[in-house]
Every structure is written in structure tokens, then in C-alpha cells.
Amino acid sequence: MAAGPGGAVPARISGRWPAVAGWAGAYAFAETLAGLLSIAIAGHDRADWTPFLACRPWLLAVAALLLAARPWRFRLAAMALGLAGATLGGALWLAAKGAGDAIAALRIFGASILLLAAVELVLRLARWAGGRRWRLLAAALLLGLALLPGAVAAYERVALGPLDPPPPARRPPLHLLSGLPLIWSEGGVAETLGRSRPLAAMLLLRSRHDVLPLAAARPRSLAGPGPLLAVQPRIDAEGLVALDDWVWRGGRMLLLADPDVRWPTRLPPGDPARPPGVAPLLPLLAHWGLALSPAGGDPLMLRDVEWAGAVWRVRPGAPGRLASTDGACAILAGGLAADCRIGQGRAVILADADLLDDDLWVGMGSHGTGRFRRTADNGPLIAAILADLGDGQPVEPSDSVVWIESPLRPDRHWLLALLPSLLLLAAGLVMGRRGIHAAVVTKSSQTYPQAMHRYKERTVADFRHRRE
């Protein structure tokens, strides 16, 4: 708008952008705060996107209904900017927790734009078919879409990417010696075939290794390539000698020895098919310079185990405590694990066999062993140790979990997460105030009276003369 000669014209700043920034900031603030509160209230003890993504479809539908009467350009701009602010806030919070991933944030924002397009399509269909009450029809359609089985899960799958790590290119051999029903159930072949789902730990190991069960520890059975996983094995004196000789000559073994095994069983006490005790293994551990005793204390207590440059949070059942008697073994995680160099070989011992039980670490749903569902790292820790012992594929970094120490307590990282939404709100406020108060005053040599009004074109003398 051009200023006339000698005029003072207010500068016109578009009234839409302050409102767009305000709506976007309000949405980003609401979604970020809802995600943080869900982490605190539900005790979500990991740094990942799932609490924020769980709130996004619902809040986006509510925001779309509140802005339904606005022009579509305004609505899309406000919600897209709000999604960007909320995604940036979540990314900043994850980065502060040590789980930052710019590529994941971009993928999540792209999936959210697709979700926004679906919500806008629903609004337009409702406007076209709903008549005067099209807003109620839009609300019903959005609610039905959100409650449709698999709809929100499909959106999360697109946003988060593959829920399970990709299978390795090759599966090296892994020998398995166990007295626990890891492969065969206690009821025999019929019950094993009728079991709906094998143990999650075995599914994980089979996806990474060619698992070869062993009936007994004998020199001939141990002669093949690959490491050995021994889980509370049934073993005799000949087997102990074979294990010691095999490890001394260069064998690599992960041994799970539990002084208080509590593996779930339906067999009565005294049945020889029940999970065996640890007594037959104690002479071998003493020969390697280790003492194993019950740990006592609280069972099911979470432990952090540092292995291969990562921290794994495991939930053992009723673990024991390992102690070194001659300093030949490195004791880890407060006695839960020991790493021993024996001759030319290596043996890693974990003082718990119950940690392979699904109830201790597998989450709900079909992807209960993935990083977004599992409740502990029991299975991935076993896979990481076996990969370190043998020539197996290392655990994918994308499958690691960044655990939070105190999820129930808000911290200073909350303010960092809310910063993008607060900046959007501040930008909307500043632009709004500029639109109200800004004025451009131009220089002019004109003096009154000015011929711009029917009264202004007369001088004071004219008014005085007319009054007289």
C-alpha cells in the first residue's frame, strides 16, 4: 500500500503468519508435553520415539477439527509447522539422552506429513458429503480411522522403520548344550510341535546362527567349528574334562551357570527331567579360578552389563555371584559375569540361566524382542557375547536401546524438548504485536489545511466567519 503525499500509513503485515505460528506452537507444545508426561507417568524407561508417536495421531486429528473452518492453506501450514516443531523437540530430547538420530527424525517427519495428508483428505470428504454437520462426520471418520485395527500400527511402522533388525548374510554354526527345555519341551515331541511359539531367545539365536544341539560334551562333538553355548548343562566328570581340554586348546564358550535356577517347570521335585543344579559345574569353575555362590538380595533386579562398547540392561531371575580366586578372570557387573582367558581359548560365564526366560525380557506383541517392545536386553546380550566369542555377526546398532535411569522424574532436558514450540509461540506473539503497532511515517512538506476532508479544506478563519 503506497503512502500518499504527506500521509502516515500503517505498515500492513500479513495477519495470517502470526496465527499460523501461534497454532503451530500450541500444537507442538501440546504434543511434546504429552509425550514427556507419558514417559514420566508410564515409567517409559528408554529414549525412543514411541511415546511421542503414540500421541501424534490423536492430537493431529483434534487440531484438524479445531482448524476445520480455516482455509486449507492456513490449516496445512499450521499443522505442518507444528509437526516440524514437535519432531524437532523430540529429536532434541533424544539427542540429550544420547539417542539422537537425524535420519530417524527425518523419516518420522516424512511419515507425519503422510498422516497429515490422510487427515486432510478425511476433512475434505466430510465437507463434501456431510452438509451442515460435516464437522461431526469428520470427527467420526477420524475417530474410526484411529481405532481401526492396524491403522496406527502401520503409521508407526512407516515412521520407525523395520521393527526387527535384518537377518545376517550368513549364519555361522553355534553348538548348544543345555539341561533346560530350550528346544524340546518337557512334554516331549508332541508338546514341542504343539507349542504355539518357541522361546524368543532361541528364535533370536536361530536368526543369527545355525544352532547345533549337543547331547553331551564329548571331544568328538566339540570338534566342530563355532562357539559353544552351555546353559545349565547336565554334565559328568568326562564332560567336564572334555570342556576344559577343548577350551584350553582354543575353544570359545559362553556358560550360563545358575546356583538358584528357577526355570518354570511342571515336573514334580525329584524328577530327573527337571532343570539340573549347578553342583556338577563347580569343580570346573574352581579349576578356572572362579567361585560361584548365591547372590541373595532382590531377585529380578535390573543390571547393567558393559560389553563390546555398549551397555546392556538385563533382568536376571535369581542370579548368583562370581568371584575370582586367582585373578585369572575379569569379574563384570558386580559378579554377574566373568571373562576368562584359559590357555588358547576363552570362556565367558554368566551366573544366571533364568535370563533366557521370555517373561523376564520379552515385551508384548509380535515384535516383543525388538528395541521398541522388549523390557530388557537379555537376548541381545547373549547374541552380543556370542558374536564377540565367535565369528558371528555383531549386533546391529539400530537394535540397541538407550535406557533412562529415572524416567519418573522430569529433568532439564524437558525444557530443551519444549524449546522449538516455545520459539514458535514467541514468533507468533512478536509478529502479531508488530502487525498491530507497526507504522511507517513518511516525510512531507505539506501543512494544514489539506483538501482531504470536507472540514479540513477550510481554515480556522472560515469556521470563525461562518460562526459569526
pLDDT tens sequence across 176-195: 999 888 887 665 555 555 55
pLDDT > 90: what percent of the chain? Answer: 38
User: Which of residues 358 and 146 earns the better pLDDT score?
Assistant: 358
If we measure between CA atoms, which residue out of 277, 317, 290 comes closest to residue 301?
A: 317
Q: Which three cell numbers stand for residue 142?
A: 477420524
User: Which of residues 196 and 106 earns the better pLDDT score?
Assistant: 106
Alpha-carbon separation of residue 402 from 260, 300, 341, 394, 413 (angstroms): 30, 20, 30, 18, 15
Mean pLDDT value of segment 352-371: 85
The answer on pLDDT for 78 being more than 80 is yes
Helix, strand, coil: what percent of the chain each, to 5?
45, 15, 40
Q: What is the CATH number of domain 173-265+273-395?
A: 3.40.50
Predicted confidence at residue 465, as pLDDT, reads 47
If we measure between CA atoms, which residue out of 219, 246, 351, 360 comes closest to residue 291?
A: 351
Confidence class for position 392, pLDDT limits 50, 70, 90: low
The answer on pLDDT for 439 being more than 50 is no
Could you tell me if 26 and 425 are in contact, meaning their C-beta atoms sit under 8 angstroms apart?
yes
Predicted confidence at residue 403, as pLDDT, reads 87
- Report, in angstroms and rounded to the nearest whole number, the Rg of the chain calculated over CA atoms: 34
Q: Which three cell numbers stand for residue 198?
A: 518357541
User: Which of residues 445 and 117 earns the better pLDDT score?
Assistant: 117
Alpha-carbon separation of residue 60 from 18, 178, 213, 374, 424 (angstroms): 20, 51, 52, 28, 17
Confidence class for position 10, pLDDT limits 50, 70, 90: very low
Mean pLDDT value of segment 397-408: 76
Q: Please report which helix (H) or strand (E) contains residue 306, including its range.
A: strand 303-307
Bond into 449 cis (ω within 30): yes
pLDDT digits (tens, 9 = 90+) for 120-158: 999 989 888 877 788 888 888 888 887 876 777 788 888
3-state secondary structure (DSSP) of residue 441: strand
Which residues make beta-bridge pairs with 341? 346
The answer on pLDDT for 331 being more than 60 is yes
Distance of CA 263 to the CA centre of its chain: 29
**How would you list the strands of the sheet with 337-342, edge to edge?**
210-213, 173-178, 228-231, 252-256, 345-350, 337-342, 329-332
Residue with cell 470428504: 125
